[in-house]
Amino acid sequence: KATAQMEERLAEFIQAFSPESVLPLADGVLSFIHHQLAELSRDCLAKSREGLITSVYFFELQENLEKLLHDAFERSESSEVAFVTELVKKLLIIISRPARLLECLEFNPEEFYHLLEAAEDHAKEGHLMKTDIPRYIISQLGLTRDPIEEMVNLDSYDSEGPITPETDDSTEGKIRAMKPPGEADFQTIKLISNGAYGAVYLVRHLETHQRFAMKKINK
């Protein structure tokens, strides 16, 4: 269903915003970028219809869209940049849900946590400082975004947000949300791996039903 919706919205996007459907952009750089965006959207639609879409393809497509947007801002001072920005946003919105779903479907928790254990072992053998281990593991797993930095950015964003009055209920809910999770909050589904430093289990949160990997360290 998500794929069908994406294909329908891509077809509508191409029909409405391709260079043949709108007035040509006066800026040569932006006109070229506009054609590139049209080609990327056509390629995505064609590959989806042929069943050739992968999470890697979506990742590369997102990178290409972000690069084109960066080039637009770097190489042009025209007001038409706003039009190109809007096109990139529309394309990212169209592919976002199918990309997330496909990433979940392709995710192999057992393989991921074997890599995680190997990265942990290597970090400990290298006598890295404790504060450096999380980022070392992130780099070894090939993750392109650093979730630690994202959490810091979110904290900064929250601290700068508008202050609004809170009711007793909202305050209580916030306190509840801030409570750190405990082992009792999760249901164990299965053992993923058992290593020298501990065992990794696939677990489900009792309230949200989200799945996580929980590592129990040997003491």
Is the model's pLDDT at 157 over the cut of 60?
Answer: no
pLDDT-derived band of residue 187, with 50, 70 and 90 as boundaries?
Answer: confident
18 close to 38: Cβ distance less than 8 angstroms:
yes
Mean pLDDT of the residues in the chain: 75
Q: What does the pLDDT look like over 6-56, one tens digit per residue?
A: 999 999 999 999 998 988 899 999 999 999 999 999 999 999 999 988 888
CA 158 centroid distance within chain: 20
Q: What does the pLDDT look like over 58-72, one tens digit per residue?
A: 989 999 999 999 999
Q: Which range is most confident: 41-45, 186-190, 200-204? A: 41-45
What does the block give as tokens for 3? 């794929």
Share of residues in the chain with pLDDT > 70 (%): 63
Those residues whose C-beta lies under 8 Å from the C-beta of residue 149, and which sit 6 or more positions away, are: none
What does the block give as tokens for 32? 């070229």
| CATH 1.20.1480.20 at 1-106, yes or no | yes
